Amino acid sequence: MTLEQLRIFVAVAEREHVTRAAEALNVTQSAASGAVAALEARHGVALFHRVGRGIELTEAGRMFLGEARAVLGRAAGAEQALADFGEMKRGSLRLVASQTIASYWLPPRLATFHALYPQIAVELAIDNSEGAAKRVLDGSAELGFVEGAIDEPALAYWVVAKDRLALVGATQAPQIDEDWIRAATWIVREQGSGTRSSFEDVLRHRGIDAADLRIGMTLPSNEAVRTAAETGAGVAVLSHLVVARAIKIGNLHELPLELPERAFNALRHKERYRTRAADALTDLIKEQAK
């Protein structure tokens, strides 16, 4: 039994005429007659009384008409559901981002995406860069956004933005050199954080082992690090996105240490299916970057 046979049966039953049903469905009369005959032969049940040149439903045919209409209705609903997803009329988009990106860079872009595609539910999880990569790997997030590169062959990544790091403290420092860096009390993010790994890369380029730093506190969020630095508990390296307001109002000072730009990267699994919603978001980000 096929959907096409059901469509033909319903059309014939509603018109009580094979030729008119065939014309309505744009099939040949022989194809319409053959579809009905195939249904009857397969199940050994007559669906129509054939009286002279006319036809009318049997009792079995009347029962089957309701069932056939229900099946066709469900099939049409399933087709519409897929069309809705394809046309971005419904669905969800699961994302994960590291803290700096999730709290500062990504929200304006998600707001624009929501305005364009209000029927797509966006679910954003926050994790450090390592955790974000794991979520994209296991499929619990379709797209990830992290600071820096991820060394994982199964993941594709590309640059979506540039970020500037800043060394900040509650008081000014006239000059920053290697001795000052080793003597300072540092407030840092946890291991696995993109901000921390970016800072440790800077130290390596200056010939300093991160293990030689005087770490006063290791805290789990950018905001916790910034707040501790504002109290004078130590100095910190954070994204300029995180500290810009605190610098503007004088709670923190940017200290004279040249720090390179770092990349914000998008991540996706190379082999998993890419939804149109994910493609739409990445296209929007590319357009805004221009």
Q: How confident is the model at residue 213 (pLDDT cuts 50, 70, 90)?
A: very high
Is the pLDDT score of 75 beyond 80?
A: yes
Q: What is the pLDDT of residue 125?
A: 92
Query: Contacts from 130-138 at CB under 8 Å and sequence distance 24+?
Result: 130/192, 131/96, 131/192, 132/96, 132/97, 132/98, 132/267, 133/267, 135/96, 136/96, 136/267, 136/268, 136/269, 137/269
Q: What is the pLDDT of residue 164?
A: 92
Token digits of residue 14: 């509603």
Contact of 164 with 193, CB cutoff 8 Å: no
Q: What is the pLDDT of residue 33?
A: 87
Quick one: DSSP state of residue 235? Answer: B
Is the pLDDT score of 271 beyond 90?
A: no
Average pLDDT, the chain: 89
**Whole-prediction pTM:** 0.69
How far apart are alpha carbons 126 and 103 in whole angstroms?
Answer: 9
pLDDT tens by residue, 133-170 = 999 998 889 999 998 778 899 999 999 999 999 999 99
Domains parsed from the chain with CATH numbers: 3-86 (1.10.10.10), 92-161+263-289 (3.40.190.10), 163-261 (3.40.190.10)
Is the pLDDT score of 249 beyond 90?
A: yes
pLDDT tens by residue, 5-60 = 888 888 888 888 888 888 888 889 889 889 889 988 988 989 888 877 778 888 99
